[in-house]
């Protein structure tokens, strides 16, 4: 029996464990990626490990999230990141160079290699045949130190692609169709691997869009084969010598197969407030729209922006619509200028924003009260835009362009003459805002710049024999990391100051949570299904840890957040009987005897109840928990 593409890469990088579904394995990581919202903490953690240089083939630090410099904090952290990069052998992508996933895809992604990134949309590189996994910053710091990345051996869901997309339909509609079928948790425990004759009909940028947003299904990652289209794209980027063919064996067997006929996909929309709440755009025609935003790591490629520019050329954005473009990289900006598309967008009435994440993470461009905002982004969680009552819809560039012109939700198939965008035979690449690391013999003299907002990491203590405390909060299903630890222009600059950022934990759900947690001396979080979905931000675990959270007990976890809880010594536990969730309320007094982490029983002392709990911790994770978290564990291993 042959191997799928994902299985082959896992096999070639396997360090520990066996290739049995559900068993813990550890794999070697070739590349790492960080961005400034998560990277600052990752590098503080790497420093604490005491190494002189990163141990990976390539590590890249991007500044793309926190570029809104309203005071000293972001600027100080950018200097910290640059000095860290120089000191430890990391390539730096400066502010304005572009969005991390788009730039990494253009300049660094390699078929057959592994990548771990401190951003949940790291799987974008899977569009080029790289096994790319999003994780918490501490996992990335461990990889930079030469340590392997541990995960459960995944099932492989083969997505068999046939047919060809019709005009007005693109890669965004493909992944929205996958989300329509799987929703936001149907991919948990899987790698989504695309194969079949229809793959050759998808452009490489469309593939990147699909793997980027596959994250929203809960999948470990997504991957496409590396074929002749991949080769042509890499040659256009001046990296043809790095191309290799990568595909599944002809007799590969998938654990599950989802059939996807491209010719039957129509323009789709993810309604508020979930990427999995998908409907055809035809059901929403006529919905008045206030804002249209094109860009983000999902749809900011040359193909995406040229599609919009071609559709709006010689036309005007509707007077009631504020329309923006966030280019993915400086290379794309140069190509847009060369082709005249930049002028076409400006003349049509689009505002051109800096090449960065911006409104996708609520960093500017918050909609007006109750506004309808149509975006080519990857998430539309409630309040993520910066406006709690805004109605955010996720769409393709084609739907966005048609809607911007009409002032209401529109079907791009009504617009005649939408032609496929041809990639340049050679891009005018722009690497001016990369800073190369110093050689080892010079790096030792670099002075690390630390602004006053950078505070030391909190202490992590070994796991006690028992934990006691109150239920500090009880939440429902699909709680996101945006709910737990919001982003935005006010909060993200505090990313390297854990005491201060902890004041905003659960800010949009229960603003009284931080004060209550401190007054009660910590306690427990109780929740429903898919707790912690969304961003990889480890602050959603680290800040609750600072506030004294001892365990999170839910019906099920999202993968990355569960791993982050382990990393910082918070027990991730589930109910043996999911119905037991209904027996516990906020304020209940709980006691949990931990012992050797077997036969866990939660005592609800004020109700006289005993509730059995489960965990799926590996042997290594149990040792990590006993030592108080991954940082303590890694230091002990290195010593």
Q: How would residue 184 be classed by pLDDT, with cut points 50, 70 and 90?
A: very high
Encode pLDDT of 510-569 as tens digits. Answer: 999 999 999 999 999 999 999 999 988 899 999 999 999 999 999 999 999 999 999 999
Q: Is residue 489 predicted with pLDDT exceeding 90?
A: no
Whether 251 is a known active-site residue: answer: no
Q: What is the mean pLDDT of the chain?
A: 95
115 in Cβ contact with 9 (< 8 Å):
no
Question: What's the pLDDT at 418?
Answer: 86
| Structural tokens at position 16 | 């520990």
Encode pLDDT of 142-158 as tens digits. Answer: 999 999 999 999 999 99
Question: What's the pLDDT at 455?
Answer: 86
- Catalytic residue (choose from 8, 13, 31, 65): 65
Q: Is residue 68 predicted with pLDDT exceeding 90?
A: no
Question: CA-to-CA distance for 355 and 141, rounded, in angstroms?
Answer: 26
Encode pLDDT of 257-312 as tens digits. Answer: 999 999 999 999 999 999 999 999 999 999 999 999 999 999 999 999 999 999 99
Average the pLDDT over 169-179 and give the result.
98
Question: What's the pLDDT at 416?
Answer: 81
The two domains 283-414 and 466-638 share their CATH topology (first three levels equal)? no
Question: CA-to-CA distance for 472 and 586, rounded, in angstroms?
Answer: 6
CATH superfamily, domain 5-264, is Aconitase, domain 3 (3.30.499.10)
| Angle in degrees, 0-180, between the axes of helices 36-48 and 72-88, rounded to the nearest 10 | 50
Encode pLDDT of 328-367 as tens digits. Answer: 999 999 999 999 999 999 999 999 999 999 899 888 899 9
Whether 559 is a known active-site residue: answer: no
CA distances from 20 to 2, 221, 239, 560 (A): 15, 18, 36, 20
Whether 537 is a known active-site residue: answer: yes
Whether 635 is a known active-site residue: answer: no
For residue 162, count CB atoms less than 10 angstroms from its CB and return exposed for 0-12, middle for 13-18, buried for 19 or more: middle
Backbone phi, psi, residue 147, to 5° = -80, 155
- Catalytic residue (choose from 77, 119, 139, 304): 119
- Catalytic residue (choose from 36, 64, 77, 588): 64
Whether 65 is a known active-site residue: answer: yes
Residue whose token pair is 């141990």: 55
Fold (topology level) of 466-638: Aconitase; domain 4 (3.20.19)
Question: What's the pLDDT at 112?
Answer: 98
For residue 237, the surrounding DSSP H or E stretch is: none
Backbone phi, psi, residue 24, to 5° = -75, 130
Domain boundaries, the chain: 5-264, 283-414, 466-638
- Catalytic residue (choose from 207, 379, 384, 561): 379
Q: Is residue 417 predicted with pLDDT exceeding 80?
A: no
- Nearest 5 degrees, angle CA 425-CA 429-CA 435? 155
Question: CA-to-CA distance for 602 and 623, rounded, in angstroms?
Answer: 21
What percentage of the chain exceeds 70 in pLDDT?
A: 100
Q: How would residue 90 be classed by pLDDT, with cut points 50, 70 and 90?
A: very high
Whether 483 is a known active-site residue: answer: no
Q: Is residue 29 predicted with pLDDT exceeding 90?
A: yes
Query: In CATH, which of 3.30.499.10, 1.20.1260.10, 3.40.50.150, 1.10.8.80 is domain 283-414?
Result: 3.30.499.10
Encode pLDDT of 230-247 as tens digits. Answer: 999 999 999 999 999 999
- Catalytic residue (choose from 537, 539, 555, 562): 537
- Catalytic residue (choose from 535, 555, 559, 561): 535
Q: How many CB atoms lie within 10 A of CB 119?
A: 30
Encode pLDDT of 108-132 as tens digits. Answer: 999 999 999 999 999 999 999 999 9
Question: CA-to-CA distance for 230 and 242, rounded, in angstroms?
Answer: 11
């Amino acid at each position: 029996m042959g191997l799928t593409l994902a299985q082959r890469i896992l096999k070639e990088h396997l360090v520990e464990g066996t290739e049995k579904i559900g068993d813990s394995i550890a794999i070697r990581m070739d590349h790492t990626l960080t961005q400034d919202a998560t990277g600052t903490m990752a590098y503080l953690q790497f420093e604490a490990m005491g190494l002189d240089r990163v141990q990976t083939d390539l590590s890249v630090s991007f500044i793309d999230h926190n570029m809104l410099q309203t005071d000293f904090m972001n600027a100080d952290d950018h200097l910290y990141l640059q000095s860290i990069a120089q000191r430890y052998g990391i390539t730096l992508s400066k502010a304005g160079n572009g969005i991390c996933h788009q730039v990494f895809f253009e300049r660094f992604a390699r078929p057959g290699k592994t990548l771990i990134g401190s951003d949940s949309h790291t799987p974008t590189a899977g569009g080029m045949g790289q096994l790319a996994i999003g994780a918490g910053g501490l996992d990335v710091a461990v990889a930079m130190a030469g340590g392997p990345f541990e995960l459960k051996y995944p099932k492989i869901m083969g997505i068999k692609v046939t047919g060809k997309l019709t005009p007005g339909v693109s890669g965004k509609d493909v992944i929205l169709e996958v989300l329509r079928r799987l929703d936001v948790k149907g991919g948990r425990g899987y790698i989504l691997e695309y194969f079949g004759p229809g793959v050759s009909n998808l452009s490489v940028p469309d593939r990147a869009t699909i793997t980027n947003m596959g994250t929203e299904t809960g999948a470990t990652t997504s991957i496409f084969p590396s074929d002749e289209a991949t080769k042509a794209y890499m040659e256009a980027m001046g990296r043809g010598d790095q191309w290799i063919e990568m595909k599944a064996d002809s007799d590969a067997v998938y654990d599950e197969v989802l059939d996807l006929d491209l010719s039957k996909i129509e323009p789709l929309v993810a309604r508020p407030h979930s990427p999995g709440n998908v409907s055809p755009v035809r059901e929403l025609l006529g919905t008045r729209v206030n804002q249209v935003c094109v860009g983000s790591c999902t749809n900011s490629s040359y193909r995406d922006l040229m599609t919009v520019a071609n559709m709006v050329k010689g036309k005007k954005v509707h007077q009631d619509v504020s329309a923006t473009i966030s280019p993915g990289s400086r290379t794309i900006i140069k190509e847009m200028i060369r082709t005249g598309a930049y002028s076409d967008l400006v003349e049509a009435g689009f505002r051109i924003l800096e090449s960065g994440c911006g409104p996708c993470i609520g960093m500017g461009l918050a909609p007006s009260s109750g506004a309808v905002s149509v975006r080519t982004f990857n998430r539309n969680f409630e309040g993520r835009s910066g406006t709690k009552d805004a109605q955010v819809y996720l769409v393709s560039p084609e739907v966005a362009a048609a809607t911007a012109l009409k002032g209401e939700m529109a079907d791009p198939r009504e617009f005649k003459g939408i032609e496929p965008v041809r990639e340049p035979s050679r891009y005018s690449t722009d690497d001016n805002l990369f800073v190369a690391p110093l050689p080892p013999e010079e790096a030792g003299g670099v002075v690390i710049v630390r602004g006053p907002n950078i505070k030391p990491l909190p202490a992590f203590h070994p796991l006690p024999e028992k934990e006691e405390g109150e239920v500090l909060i009880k939440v429902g299903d699909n709680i996101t990391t945006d709910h737990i630890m919001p982003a935005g222009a006010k909060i993200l600059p505090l990313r390297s100051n854990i005491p201060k950022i902890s004041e905003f934990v659960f800010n949009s759900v229960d603003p009284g949570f931080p004060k209550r947690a401190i007054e009660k001396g910590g306690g427990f979080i109780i929740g429903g299904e898919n707790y912690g979905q969304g961003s990889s931000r480890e602050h959603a675990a680290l800040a609750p840890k600072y506030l004294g959270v001892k365990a999170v007990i839910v019906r099920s976890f999202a993968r990355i957040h569960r791993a982050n809880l382990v990393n910082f010594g918070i027990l991730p536990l589930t109910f043996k009987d999911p119905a037991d969730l209904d027996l516990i309320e906020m304020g209940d007094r709980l006691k949990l005897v931990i012992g050797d982490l077997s036969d866990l029983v939660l005592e609800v002392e004020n109700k006289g109840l005993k509730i059995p709990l489960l965990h799926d911790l590996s042997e290594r994770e149990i040792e990590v928990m006993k030592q108080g978290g991954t940082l303590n564990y890694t230091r002990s291993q290195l010593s």
